A and B are shown apart, each in its own frame.
Chain A
Amino acid sequence: MSSAATTLLLPSHSPGLPAAQVPSALQEAPWVRALLIGIALAFLALFLFVPLAAVFVEALRKGWDAYVAAIVEPDAWAAIKLTLLTAAIAVPLNLVFGVAAAWAIAKFEFRGKNVLLTLIDLPFSVSPVISGLIYVLMFGAQGWIGPWLADHDIKILFAVPGIVLATMFVTFPFVARELIPLMQAQGSDEEEASLVLGASGWQTFRRVTLPNIKWGLLYGVILCNARAMGEFGAVSVVSGHIRGETNTMPLHVEILYNEYNFAAAFAVASLLALLALVTLAVKSFIEWRAHRAQLAQIRPESSQ
């Protein structure tokens, strides 16, 4: 399968020839190849693999029992629950937004579309700290509606709603960004056929569009979720750091670390690292599927 992929992507490489028979003018000398692979792997090891391994080694430094104790400790448990709650609110809302935005942008022509696309991407180019700051300026004691909120005894800043809002801001573009190019590439022919055959708009979306975009949707959702659970800067600004109440997992890691409770900090951090690894695994799986589907489309006879 993979040799077929290489053939398709690099059509002028003769697939039957072993590497040694590719003309030497089209290949680097073996020592150059070995050197480049060596440099690349050394660089990745130094900056990626070793830090990742360090998280787990440090987490288990004081043994398995200390590891479990650090995770079931009440404050850590509260942080885990708050992180899950935040993601459970922010991700579905951004999912609905992403689908709506992709539908409007991919299926219709209207003026100002490029401006809209730029605005949707905006949260990616804003520093996390500023993403938190803007909510402080709105809901803080000196902010726009802070005094009104205080009069009515509604807490947004330094409470769960502020954390959710800041998380929604930083994860805002993820789903929309995956879906828009996908749905633009797919066009609207299938949806139009379904509508002409008498299906309602909702039926068309559920039975035609959704099956076509499900992998892209999942891709966007897992990336959105990883960022929602791991966001630090924006949440740190709006949270107020109340232990057991407004601490998410990344903030709890910070507190433990600053108290020199390294083993516990790394124990909670290792859960987040596991989440990252699962995210990458699911992402690779989706990419592998998309690649296979693409191959099947190019060469339908070979897919059986």
Chain B
Amino acid sequence: MPIALPLPRQYKQKRFRVMPGFHITLGFTLFYLSLIVLIPLSALFLKTFTLTWADFAAAVTSDRVMASYRLSFGASLIAAVVNAVFGGIVAWVLVRYTFPGKKIVDALVDLPFALPTAVAGIALTALYAPNGWIGTALAHLGLKVAFTPLGVVVALVFIGLPFVVRTVQPVLQEADHEFEEAAASLGATRWQTFLHVIFPGILPALLTGFALAFARAAGEYGSVIFIAGNMPMISEITPLLIVTKLEQYDYAGATAIAMVMLLVSFALLLAINILQAWTRRRGLTSRS
């Protein structure tokens, strides 16, 4: 390692200029970002500002829209809870245990990231429909999944599955066993060690994964519309309502609902950033 001498500030800045291409790369980055993301997104904000406050409030609080919020956010919440519990178990099993086919299972966890949502949607519908493989079995139990709000939850569990696994897995992998050894040598049972040592260490990652899964699920469209049945007031998600309004040329209504969704996403993004900072500060490693 070369010893870094503390240089006066102006020298440090000069040193950076050895590297070429700052203006052209940053210039292109900002130009492309504005063209593809910022200007189109600002169209949404400007369109919202053309609405009167009363119109906006009416558009985003009508009964049908409120029912869609309840479904979209309620189903996303249930799906994220399911994913937090089972995703946590999957991450634990993949890091701590060995079993045949583990590498393939590990690779397939990312399937929901790679599989187009429409394909996931029709596959899940075919399985959970009353005449499908799983649907038939559930029908015997008197349970109807496809074309009900429960179907929405199933699709959202699929979509959010990798988030919890992939946020908890690295934290478990980097965990030092010293803490567990210390707990054990102080007389803790395995369950006590898990509850008081391991669980607090993975909690921030678990919550981050939960929030990521929830955020993704709330905006999801492709996989849900096939299995949901899309009955207004019962199984109609908010993104579908935006599409419906667009098809009726109700641009103002679509924009107002989209604005609400966007603000919720931004709030979630902020929460996720805070959670990720927390994850970095608190892990299961003895370093830091």
Residues of chain A at the chain B interface (Cβ within 8 Å):
9-13, 23, 25-29, 33, 36-37, 39-41, 43-44, 46-52, 54-55, 58, 93, 96-97, 100-101, 103-105, 107-110, 116, 118-123, 125-130, 133-138, 140, 142-144, 165, 168-169, 172, 188, 191-192, 195-196, 201, 204-205, 223, 226, 229-233, 236-237, 249-251, 253-254, 257, 262, 265-266, 269, 272-273, 275-277, 279-281, 283-284
Residues of A within 8 Å of B154, CB to CB, are 47
Residues of B within 8 Å of A128, CB to CB, are 117, 219-222, 239
| Least distance between B121 CB and chain A CB atoms (Å) | 8
Top 6 A-B pairs, shortest CB-CB distance: A230-B116, A127-B219, A201-B20, A232-B222, A25-B184, A233-B221
Contact of B86 among A39, A126, A142, A254 (CB under 8 A): A39
Contact in complex: A58, B126 (CB < 8 Å): yes
Contact in complex: A232, B117 (CB < 8 Å): yes
Give Cα A47–Cα B165 distance, bound, in whole angstroms.
14
Q: Which of B174-230 touch A at CB < 8 Å? A: 174, 176-178, 180-181, 184-185, 188-190, 193, 215, 218-222, 226
Give Cα A126–Cα B37 distance, bound, in whole angstroms.
11
| Residue among A10, A40, A191 with max Cβ neighbours from chain B (10 Å) | A40
Contact in complex: A254, B118 (CB < 8 Å): yes
Residues of A within 8 Å of B127, CB to CB, are 50-51, 54
Give Cα A129–Cα B108 distance, bound, in whole angstroms.
27
The answer, yes or no, to whether B233 is at the interface (CB within 8 Å) is no
The answer, yes or no, to whether B139 is at the interface (CB within 8 Å) is no
Residues of A within 8 Å of B25, CB to CB, are 100-101, 103-104
Contact in complex: A50, B19 (CB < 8 Å): no
Give Cα A14–Cα B166 distance, bound, in whole angstroms.
26
> Which of B38-46, B51-59, B61-69 lies at the interface with chain A?
B38-46
Query: 7 interchain pairs (CB within 8 A)?
Result: A12-B177, A51-B127, A129-B239, A133-B258, A138-B43, A144-B43, A254-B226
Question: If the complex has contacts A257-B226, A280-B107, are A104 and B22 also in contact, measured as CB distance less than 8 A?
Answer: yes
| Least distance between B57 CB and chain A CB atoms (Å) | 20
Q: Which of B120-135 touch A at CB < 8 Å? A: 120, 122-124, 126-127, 132-134
Residues of A within 8 Å of B188, CB to CB, are 25
Contact in complex: B177, A97 (CB < 8 Å): no
Chain B: CB-nearest residue to A258: B226
Contact in complex: B266, A125 (CB < 8 Å): yes
The answer, yes or no, to whether B99 is at the interface (CB within 8 Å) is yes
Q: A39-B86, A201-B21, A276-B116 are in contact. List 5 more A-B contacts (CB 8 A).
A: A50-B127, A101-B29, A130-B219, A201-B20, A230-B114
Give Cα A48–Cα B114 distance, bound, in whole angstroms.
12
Give Cα A205–Cα B21 distance, bound, in whole angstroms.
10
Contact in complex: B26, A110 (CB < 8 Å): yes
Question: If the complex has contacts A195-B20, A237-B243, are A231 and B265 also in contact, measured as CB distance less than 8 A?
Answer: no
Give Cα A233–Cα B121 distance, bound, in whole angstroms.
12
Main secondary structure on chain B at its contact with chain A? Answer: helix
Chain B: CB-nearest residue to A108: B22
Contact of B40 among A29, A104, A169 (CB under 8 A): A169
Contact of A49 among B20, B33, B108, B226 (CB under 8 A): B108
Contact in complex: A250, B222 (CB < 8 Å): yes
Give Cα A78–Cα B185 distance, bound, in whole angstroms.
67
The answer, yes or no, to whether B89 is at the interface (CB within 8 Å) is yes
Contact in complex: A142, B251 (CB < 8 Å): yes
* CB < 8 Å A-B pair total: 291
Interface size counted on chain B using CB atoms at 8 A: 95
Contact of A196 among B18, B28, B158 (CB under 8 A): B18
The answer, yes or no, to whether B49 is at the interface (CB within 8 Å) is no
Contact in complex: A236, B243 (CB < 8 Å): yes
Q: Which of B232-250 touch A at CB < 8 Å? A: 239-240, 242-243, 246
Contact in complex: A97, B29 (CB < 8 Å): yes
Contact in complex: B116, A231 (CB < 8 Å): yes
Contact in complex: A136, B251 (CB < 8 Å): yes
Contact in complex: A230, B219 (CB < 8 Å): no
Contact in complex: A133, B126 (CB < 8 Å): no
Contact in complex: B262, A54 (CB < 8 Å): no
Residues of B within 8 Å of A25, CB to CB, are 184-185, 188-190, 193
Contact in complex: A55, B19 (CB < 8 Å): no
Contact in complex: A281, B107 (CB < 8 Å): yes
Contact of B111 among A52, A142, A223 (CB under 8 A): A52
Contact in complex: B110, A280 (CB < 8 Å): yes
Contact of B255 among A28, A137, A169 (CB under 8 A): A137
Q: Mark B4-43, 1 if CB is under 8 A from A, else 0.
A: 0000000000001011111011101110110011111101
Contact in complex: A233, B119 (CB < 8 Å): no
Contact in complex: A36, B114 (CB < 8 Å): no
Residues of B within 8 Å of A10, CB to CB, are 177
The answer, yes or no, to whether B47 is at the interface (CB within 8 Å) is yes
Residues of B within 8 Å of A118, CB to CB, are 269, 273
| Residue among B132, B158, B251 with max Cβ neighbours from chain A (10 Å) | B251
Contact in complex: B114, A26 (CB < 8 Å): no
The answer, yes or no, to whether B81 is at the interface (CB within 8 Å) is no
Contact of B29 among A104, A130, A236, A237 (CB under 8 A): A104
Give Cα A43–Cα B90 distance, bound, in whole angstroms.
9
